[in-house]
Structure 1
């Protein structure tokens, strides 16, 4: 009788030690909700980031548009094309946490990203407890 009790204990311990559900990968090319850009999401060192890969609607100053709304004067010379707008994202349970930069306002926000389907990405930007959510679709 002892072996079945030990076997049950081992199985129970194994189930408890199994990792929590992992977040779905967010790497890939995503069209913003406004449909104005494609963001390329992938590894950036030890974390995940997303850069503006392509404009679908040209910015006011064309493809050479600079980060003119950045509060740091030193960063206002950066080109928007290639600029990281998602940065410092790390996987946490079933989502990704990091920061999102809005070049239209020059502000950065806490952000949470979650895959809600094979071709859908839910992107939240938050200030304190107020969040705004966008749905980005996979670029074709």
Structure 2
């Protein structure tokens, strides 16, 4: 009985570790941004915490000029939440969205951590087959 309880606690502990393995800072595939992934309740979110060129041509912070919602175009890109509402399901983070401030578009997105520790991302419209993949690395 004790062995069974120990086995159950160990497996629950490893599931919790896997679930939150995504937490922390990641650098995108172009090296232009760092994204901090955090958890609120049972969902995961990511915010731009560093960008290579934070200032525009006038010396002011770059804003979300391509946002389809006009009222948000003056919002600074630095500090913006670009990953939203991911849930952990069987080794993957699914059912979330990723916002691309360069295009002003939001895509459905799934993420998983590869065996080498890199974060594999798949952004898509409609079905996952039609989309784009990226690999992010953990910031050291």
Q: TM-score, normalised by structure 2?
A: 0.78
Q: Hey, what does 1:119 align to over in structure 2?
A: 117
> Structure 1: which 4+ aligned runs deviate by more than 6 Å?
none
Unpaired segments of 5 or more residues in structure 2?
A: none
Matches within 5 A, 1:1-140: 23=19, 25-58=21-54, 60-61=56-57, 64-97=61-94, 98-117=96-115, 119-129=117-127, 130-140=130-140
SS of residue paired to 2:114 = strand
Provide closer, same or farther for how the CA distance between residues 104 and 79 of structure 1 changes in structure 2, counting only shifts above 3 A: same
Provide closer, same or farther for how the CA distance between residues 126 and 137 of structure 1 changes in structure 2, counting only shifts above 3 A: same
Contact 2:54 2:61 in 1 (8 A): no
Q: Output the CA distance in 2 between the equivalents of 1:48 and 1:86.
A: 8
Provide closer, same or farther for how the CA distance between residues 132 and 63 of structure 1 changes in structure 2, counting only shifts above 3 A: farther
Aligned residues: 124
Higher relative contact order (CA 8 A, sep 6+): 1
Note the C-alpha offset of 1:95: 0.4
Contact 2:54 2:78 in 1 (8 A): no
Q: Output the CA distance in 2 between the equivalents of 1:93 and 1:116.
A: 14
Note the C-alpha offset of 1:117: 3.3
Note the C-alpha offset of 1:60: 3.9
Q: Output the CA distance in 2 between the equivalents of 1:32 and 1:82.
A: 15
Unpaired segments of 5 or more residues in structure 1?
A: 1-10
Greater CA radius of gyration, 1 or 2?
1
